[in-house]
Chain A
């Protein structure tokens, strides 16, 4: 099936550092979504993007819909221990099903 390339696959950072991750696709999407998953739980929606170039923030999180419509970025500023988890990007073309990236596993050293 169609895949999104999400990177990095894992990150090990110090508390207080900023985090950046991204997703790229060979196809154009008209929706980009970013989720966070805690262990043993379902993913929770963080940010939704619907317009090329759109930059949206949710607290310390900021996500951008790439101008080419083939990529998206998520930044986390001043990381804290509760930011630990797996972050997933997801994209959609029109009414098509959502396609998910493979996830970025974030680990924070206190």
Chain B
């Protein structure tokens, strides 16, 4: 089945450690996105990429890094510089520009710093 897959579903990290969240899609979408969601809040854009080997900062990029070496994959690294990393992280993908640019989301990764 075509879709977008995030892993793991739950992730625990010790303070001071970097951690990488996986996002893979087989929808042949050009654009991919990472959002952060805090309890009772909306979605805030961390990074997005509209083409392989290119990405742009979103509204809350500090403390995060990404790469886009393959069209299918857009991993997000939460670094030790992120002061409050505990949150629900959502990855999405879409065609870039034009019509039929619906974004489809993965199931999310809940990151908890312990």
Interface size on A, residues (CB 8 A): 25
Quick check: A42 and B101 within 8 Å, CB to CB?
A: no
Stretch at the interface among A53-61, A63-71, A74-82, A89-97: A89-97
Quick check: B45 and A92 within 8 Å, CB to CB?
A: no
Total number of A-B contacts with CB less than 8 angstroms?
A: 58
Q: Is B106 an interface residue (CB 8 A)?
A: yes
Whose C-beta in chain A lies nearest to the C-beta of B104? A45
Q: How far is the CA of A16 from the CA of B90 in the complex (A)?
A: 32
Cβ < 8 Å to B, chain A residues 83-109: 88, 90, 92, 94-95, 97-98, 100-103, 105
Quick check: A42 and B103 within 8 Å, CB to CB?
A: no
Q: How far is the CA of A101 from the CA of B42 in the complex (A)?
A: 7
Name the A residues within 8 Å of B97 (CB-CB): 94-95
Quick check: A48 and B90 within 8 Å, CB to CB?
A: no
Quick check: B42 and A43 within 8 Å, CB to CB?
A: no
Quick check: A50 and B90 within 8 Å, CB to CB?
A: no
Name the B residues within 8 Å of A101 (CB-CB): 42
Shortest CB–CB separation between residue B49 and chain A, in angstroms?
A: 10
Choose among A1, A44, A103 the residue that contacts B105 (Cβ–Cβ < 8 A): A44
Quick check: A102 and B42 within 8 Å, CB to CB?
A: yes
Choose among B6, B33, B45 the residue that contacts A1 (Cβ–Cβ < 8 A): B45
Quick check: A102 and B102 within 8 Å, CB to CB?
A: no
Choose among B6, B42, B100, B108 the residue that contacts A40 (Cβ–Cβ < 8 A): B108
Name the A residues within 8 Å of B99 (CB-CB): 50
Quick check: A98 and B104 within 8 Å, CB to CB?
A: no
Quick check: A42 and B50 within 8 Å, CB to CB?
A: no
Q: Is B96 an interface residue (CB 8 A)?
A: yes
Choose among B59, B90, B102 the residue that contacts A42 (Cβ–Cβ < 8 A): B90
Q: Is B112 an interface residue (CB 8 A)?
A: no
Name the B residues within 8 Å of A35 (CB-CB): 105
- Can you list the 6 inter-chain pairs with the closest CB atoms, starting with the nearest? A95-B97, A42-B105, A1-B59, A102-B42, A100-B43, A103-B42
A residues with CB within 8 A of B: 1, 6, 31, 33, 35, 40-45, 48, 50, 88, 90, 92, 94-95, 97-98, 100-103, 105
